[in-house]
Amino acid sequence: MKLNVGLLGGGSWGTTVASLTAKNCATTLWARNEETVREINEEHTNTKYLPGAKLHKSLKASTSIEDTVKDADVIVMGVPSQHFREVLRAAKPFIRPWIPIVSLSKGLEMGTKMRMTQIIAEELPGHPAGVLTGPNLAKEIHSGQAAAAVIAMVDKTIAKNLQQVFSTGLFRVYTNTDVIGCELGGALKNIMAIATGMGDGANAGDNTRAALITRGLSELTRLGTAMGGRRRTFAGLAGMGDLVATCSSSKSRNHHVGFELGRGKSLEQIIEEMSEVAEGVKTAKVVMELSKDYNVDMPISREVYKVLYEGNTVYDAFKGLVKLESGSEQEPG
């Protein structure tokens, strides 16, 4: 049975996923910007977010949330975490009962400290909620390079069905029932990407980057398991896979923020020059609160937070990390 997909959000990743699902299912993408919608419908491009990329010719776009979701059998939320609830509420009156809702967002809501699937459960109880995540840099996927992702749903049967919606050729999709772990892996690794970007911008070297990625994985696994995620998830695509891709690539928005901080730019200037949201900037605030709530020490996240919000320099951050006493690698910390 062919399903209808309604995707909310016209940024680089939302547009990429919509173009992928359009190969398998009738897909409509909602974007606020009328010019973006016109361009997708008439020219099959979205040059603001995916310059040079050609979208699937059957993908349709709309400025109407109602038209996008009213006939959808699957709703995909390609909206940044801080606007997620607002857009979901706008769509709520038009979504049919029991329709699965899949988040693409890799962030946590400020104030509530909620994951996106928790917001879905709160706003639309009864709807199966899941997440599509993993090492997925939009521009590479659009240029036809191989990639893998995870669709995480509590219900295995729904996950299996949705696997067919997102899988295409060189884009392989695996299933996982650990929604908490998959979601947290995607959100927490963005802070580590800012940290490695800071090191790269300051020419700290490959050894420093490797150490930050490895200790960063240990750090996000500690908090992720304390919050209910499964340890094994953090060693997979949603954890280590996403972490390595985001911490190593100049195409990563969060790495870019860190890199520019490492070169001496201010956060305000960096954000002003960006056309898309780097989720790790806001997530860093939430993670500091969660580390206190769960009594989990997160030294890398703490130093990133101090650079972002307390006026510390990148050099202060690295001095702070170097001063930490080294424990056993097998023990927490």
Residues contributing to the annotated binding site for substrate = 106, 253-254
Give the Å distances, CA to CA, from 285 to 188, 246, 265, 322.
11, 19, 20, 23
- Residue 113 is a catalytic residue: no
132: three-class secondary structure by DSSP: strand
CA distance 63 to 77: 15
Residue ranges of the binding site: 9-14, 32, 49, 106, 134, 138, 189, 242, 252-254, 277, 279
- Which residues are CB-contacts of 158 (< 8 A; sequence separation ≥ 6)? 100, 128, 130
- Name residue 278's beta-bridge partners: none
Whole-angstrom Cα distance, residue 244 to residue 193?
9
Query: CA 99 → CA 3, 69, 161, distances in Å?
Result: 11, 10, 13
d(CA 220, CA 234): 8
Indicate which residue of 57, 189, 251, 292 is catalytic: 189
CA distances from 108 to 57, 114, 183, 222 (A): 34, 6, 9, 17
By three-state DSSP, how is residue 112 classified? Answer: coil
Q: Angle CA(164)–CA(168)–CA(172) in degrees, nearest 5?
A: 80
- The binding site for NAD(+) consists of 9-14, 138, 253
Residue owning tokens 């979205």: 46
Return the active site residues.
189
